[in-house]
Amino acid sequence: MTRQKVGFQGELGAFSEMAVLEYFGNVAEPIPHGWFDDVFRAVEQGSCDFGILPIENTLAGSIHINYDLMLEHNLQIVGEIILRIVHNLMVKPGVRREELRKIQSHPKALEQCVQFLRRNSKLQPETVYDTGGAAKMLSEGNAEDIGVIASTRAAEHYKLEILEAGLEDNTQNYTRFLVLAKGKSPSNGECTKTSIVFTVPHEPGMLFKAMSAFALRDISISKIESRPLIGSPWEYLFYLDFQGDPNSALCSRALNHLQEIATEFKLLGSYSEGKIVDNV
């Protein structure tokens, strides 16, 4: 069986690695990268077959850098997966809670555990580049007054002890990950979601007219996100997800309608709506 090389940002044990394994199963070889744009380049240059990147979290919101990188790089969204995020406080084996002075994790993980940090105000939060990276640094270092917030997989991989599970502010804590590839996903009637990006003239009512391309055809928009249009202050790009296959007659007419209004338009991908993975 040929294994698929799948790039992700972070170290082994990161939630992104869990998303790789949940989406691809045993055929995946997760390949860690230091930065999000490293993952894009790895897929473009062929050293990875796919990339998986987080795009939004139900508590902390969107990961804006990845929206920007999707426009900058020429990859297609070919799938998605939604992963339940459970944060755990972990330490070196034998370290007691009262010995801790600092808590380290990725900034987004800390944002998702604000209530825990407030209840434990004597613990100083420190940001690091990755949840799995925080666990790795703790396991390789000598400090015994540091705890980290990371996944159960990180605890297993780096042989750390979990002191408390479920630190997130709300149990409905999910991250949506996008699967990226160089080629387009084949349209076989199973594509239920489409992502696009577009701009419209900076004139009154233009966004309303753009939305009408979908509303007039009863096409459901599941998300719209604005990002600054670089070089044009106070003008914006709009990233939009809608339910449907762009090759269907109805959606094709909607996109043609939109492109009559838009000054820029790009189809980011069409894919099957992602499964929700709770058992993490």
Q: Please say if 238 is a catalytic residue.
A: no
Residue 219 φ/ψ, nearest 5 degrees: -95, 125
Closest CA to 64 of 207, 18, 6, 72: 72
CA dist 182 and 174 (Å) reads: 26
Strands 193-199 and 174-181: unpaired
As beta bridge partners, residue 81 has 177
Catalytic residue among 15, 131, 175, 214: 175
Interior angle at CA 269, CA 275 and CA 190, nearest 5:
50
Could you tell me the two tokens for 43?
A: 């897929």
Question: What residue has token string 């755990």?
Answer: 88
Q: Please say if 194 is a catalytic residue.
A: no
Q: Are 153 and 162 in contact (CB under 8 A)?
A: no
Query: Distance between the two ends of the chain, CA-based, in angstroms?
Result: 26
**Helices (DSSP H) in 113-239: which residue ranges?**
114-119, 131-140, 152-158, 206-215
Catalytic residue among 50, 177, 238, 242: 177
Task: Report the catalytic residues.
Answer: 175, 177
